[in-house]
Amino acid sequence: MNSIDVLVFAAHPDDAEIGCGGTIIKCSEQGRRVVVVDFVRGELGTRGNAETRQRESEAASHMLGLHARENLGLVDGDIRNTLNAKRQVADAVRRWRPRAAFLPYWIDRHPDHANASCLAYDGTFLAGLPRFETGNPPFRPSRVYYYMGWEAFDPTFIVDVSDQARRKMEAIHAYSTQFRPEGWDGPQTRLTQPSTDRRIRSRMAYYGSLIDRSYGEGFLIRGRLAVEDPLTLSFSSF
């Protein structure tokens, strides 16, 4: 039976890179096994197609240092919280048995992102119910963290990704059809504009500044943190 450290759910290929790519790289550098599960292949995108997005995803996965990556093959632009989709998510959780699950934030301008958040949460919850059949034994991670999409939030904690920021941007730019104007012979989009690159970098810089570091990625939890020893917690200097 597989047992990994982190399972990241994402609506589209490149969402995990944008939202928590630095943290994924940091976990990989620490010897932790990270798996990404994308929900759709990105076939509805203005630029590129499912085949090119797959090749880009493979290149980005190598840069992130992933243990594995898989795609559920749901319908791009129509991610729904159906019983079958929840069963697919639950089965992924049971197969990989992660210590922690990273989910997209539930508020986002893109409907697929918001719907993916609900689907990932429901499927992860159902994975722990013995009578919910998937063909694999029940399992539920003890930690669920939310990462940012297009919408920001007041994070519960911030991960220092100063040493990983450059590689994160390289992994994002591996999706050349999506983020490089010259990467695909087609119309330009919001993602190919210089403002997108600036927004990703400036967000990392802002959250890094909150912990007195160069770059950071913020995460949100539902519920409360249980702390055994408060003196082991790390705080910024201001």
**Taking each helix axis from N to C terminus, what angle separates 15-29 and 165-173, rounded to the nearest 10 degrees?**
140
Instruction: Give the position of tokens 């992933």.
Output: 66
**Taking each helix axis from N to C terminus, what angle separates 165-173 and 194-209, rounded to the nearest 10 degrees?**
160
Q: For residue 112, what pLDDT is reported?
A: 96
Tell the burial category of 156 from Cβ atoms under 10 Å away from its Cβ (0-12, 13-18, 19+): middle
The H or E element that residue 104 is part of is strand 100-104
Tell the burial category of 87 from Cβ atoms under 10 Å away from its Cβ (0-12, 13-18, 19+): middle
Tens place of pLDDT for every residue, the chain, 238 residues?
679 999 999 999 999 999 999 999 999 999 999 999 999 999 999 898 999 999 999 999 999 999 999 999 999 999 999 999 999 999 999 999 999 999 999 999 999 999 999 999 999 999 999 999 999 999 999 999 999 999 999 999 999 999 999 999 999 999 999 989 888 888 898 888 989 999 999 999 999 999 999 999 999 999 888 889 998 888 765 5
Ordered structural domains, the chain, with CATH: 6-232 (3.40.50.10320)
Q: For residue 231, what pLDDT is reported?
A: 87
